[in-house]
Each structure stands twice: as structure tokens, then as C-alpha cells.
């Protein structure tokens, strides 16, 4: 295409680029600010000297965060619910999405409507809490896994993925004598790796970030997942904190700002590390899933 770019067009493209760079800066400068403070001495932070570069470089904030044993425990709880929760999510979602993708299933429309209805008319909080309580799940990690086993949205995405798999393939597998379970696990799921990876990431990020469910269902401090622990450390150190912890007393005695910022960095790095590797993959899967059907 040899379309001559007019002067107005060039000016537009340049302005467009400038605005986009500004937007990117708005997205990234807060991180740089937090990073700079996490490496700065408390004196420098308190005097308001730290913007985007560390002042009086120190690693004290990090060594302090890593010394606090309870944050490691919370990391452990969160890793557990992320790994097992995500696996459970994927199996549960696939095992409902697969039958719903098959035209042979009578009552498919009714079941789909049932799922859709829960997206529009969500169950109120207290009755949900009462169900979890009556099942005896309060104060267990299972309360963070079972009640969120299937996301209706992800179910629809996975179903439309399954529907793209040629019917002939399933038919011929059945001719070969495979049962439905083996068709699902040996034919359909291996063909759906992009969808599984994408939804797996959605579910994993959900579990990693889980906050509200933990606030509702977990009272036992030793089972606090990372986000609840972070909330204590970052947002309001004197609201629900355990006043006997080392963290709490040091927070009161010294400037907490640098420690808070180091905590934010420590909790953010795992997510940011996996992000670039998976970005292209999940965007591809996300688009396929959302645009078909």
C-alpha cells in the first residue's frame, strides 16, 4: 500500500504515540516509586526525598520482611490453594463443559440456562456463608477451593473451545471403543491445551489474589492466605494485626513505609515473573474463547 501520509496524519500519529507513552508511564511509575522506596532508608522516605530512585540504598526493608515467619506461612497456604485449587477448577470445569458441548446431551439448553442464570442473579452473601458453614468448611483451606470450583464465564469459554473439536473425531474414537471419560481425557483435553492453559492462568491468578472468601471463611491466623496477611501488613497495621508479632512492634517503632513497599514488591514479583512468558499464550486463548460461538 503506497498511501501517502499527509502532514495531519503524521501529526496525529505523533500525538497518539505521546499520549500512549504517557498512559504507559501512568501504569508503570507507581511500580518504580514503590520499588525505589523499598530500597531506601526510612529516614530518606520520611523526609519525602524518594521518588523514582532509591535514596540511601539499603536492603534492611527486605531482610525485615523475610525474617517475619508468618508471611512465609501465608505464602505456603496461598501456593497450596493456587496449585490444588486450579487443578480442581480445571477438572470440574472441563467435566461439565464437555457434556454441555455435546449435542447428544438432552436438557443441554436447560442446564446452560441454569448456569447463565447464576451469572445474572448471584446468590446473596449470607445464605452462601451459611451453606459453607453447614458443610463444615469454615476455617479450612477447602472453603477457598470448593465454593469457587467453577466460574460460569470460564465454563462457557471452555465449552465453546470443545465445540470447535470436530465431531467426526469424537465419533471415530467411540467407534474405536473409547468410553466418554477416555475421550474427554485422551482426545478432547490434549487438543484443548491452549484453553486449559488460559483458563488455568485465570483460575491461578484468582486463587493467588483471593481475599474476600478468606476474609469470610478463615479466622484461624495460621491459615491466613497471602492477601489477608498483606492487608494486615500494608493497609492497616493496627486493625486486625496480631499485636504480639515482631512485625507489628517493629512497624510501630520504626518507619513502616519502606517495609510496606518491600512487602508489596515481594508479593508482586511471583505474578510478574510468570506474566511475560504467558502473556501471548493467554491472550490468544482468551480471544479464541470469547469470539467464537
Q: How far is the CB of 222 from other proteins (least distance, A)?
A: 19
Q: How far is the CB of 198 from other proteins (least distance, A)?
A: 12
Q: How far is the CB of 123 from other proteins (least distance, A)?
A: 3
Q: How far is the CB of 127 from other proteins (least distance, A)?
A: 3
Question: Helix or strand or coil: residue 51?
Answer: coil
Toward other proteins, which CB reaches closer, 80 or 180?
180
Q: How far is the CB of 65 from other proteins (least distance, A)?
A: 13
Establish how many alpha carbons lie within 13 A of residue 185's alpha carbon, considering only the half-sphere containing its beta carbon: 6
Do residues 38 and 269 lie in contact, with contact meaning Cβ atoms separated by under 8 Å?
Answer: no
Neighbours of 61 (CB within 10 A): 27
* Torsion-angle region of 136 (φ positive above 0: left; ψ -120 to 50: alpha; else: beta): left
Toward other proteins, which CB reaches closer, 172 or 290?
290
Which of 184, 207, 182 lies closest to 196, judged by CA?
A: 184
Do residues 200 and 91 lie in contact, with contact meaning Cβ atoms separated by under 8 Å?
Answer: no
Amino acid at each position: 500500500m503506497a498511501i501517502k501520509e499527509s502532514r495531519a496524519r503524521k501529526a496525529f500519529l505523533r500525538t497518539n504515540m505521546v499520549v500512549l507513552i504517557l498512559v504507559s508511564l501512568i501504569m508503570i511509575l507507581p511500580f518504580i516509586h514503590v520499588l525505589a522506596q523499598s530500597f531506601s532508608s526510612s529516614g530518606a522516605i520520611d523526609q519525602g526525598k524518594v521518588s523514582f530512585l532509591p535514596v540511601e540504598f539499603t536492603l534492611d526493608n527486605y531482610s525485615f520482611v523475610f525474617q517475619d515467619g508468618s508471611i512465609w506461612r501465608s505464602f505456603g497456604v496461598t501456593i497450596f490453594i493456587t496449585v490444588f485449587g486450579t487443578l480442581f477448577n480445571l477438572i470440574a470445569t472441563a467435566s461439565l463443559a464437555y457434556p454441555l458441548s455435546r449435542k447428544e446431551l438432552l436438557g443441554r439448553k436447560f442446564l446452560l440456562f441454569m448456569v447463565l442464570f447464576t451469572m445474572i442473579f448471584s446468590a446473596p452473601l449470607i445464605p452462601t456463608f451459611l451453606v459453607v458453614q453447614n458443610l463444615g468448611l469454615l476455617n479450612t483451606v477447602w472453603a477457598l477451593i470448593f465454593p469457587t470450583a467453577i466460574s460460569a464465564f470460564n465454563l462457557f469459554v471452555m465449552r465453546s473451545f470443545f465445540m470447535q473439536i470436530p465431531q467426526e473425531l469424537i465419533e471415530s474414537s467411540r467407534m474405536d471403543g473409547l468410553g466418554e471419560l477416555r475421550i474427554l481425557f485422551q482426545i478432547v483435553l490434549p487438543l484443548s491445551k491452549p484453553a486449559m492453559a488460559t483458563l488455568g492462568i485465570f483460575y491461578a491468578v484468582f486463587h493467588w489474589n483471593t481475599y474476600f472468601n478468606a476474609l469470610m471463611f478463615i479466622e484461624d491466623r495460621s491459615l491466613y492466605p497471602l492477601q489477608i496477611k498483606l492487608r494486615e501488613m500494608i493497609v492497616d497495621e493496627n486493625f486486625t494485626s496480631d499485636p504480639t508479632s515482631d512485625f507489628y512492634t517493629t512497624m510501630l517503632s520504626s518507619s513502616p513505609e519502606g517495609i510496606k513497599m518491600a512487602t508489596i514488591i515481594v508479593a508482586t514479583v511471583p505474578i510478574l515473573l510468570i506474566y511475560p512468558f504467558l502473556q501471548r499464550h493467554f491472550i490468544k486463548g482468551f480471544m479464541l474463547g470469547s469470539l467464537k460461538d
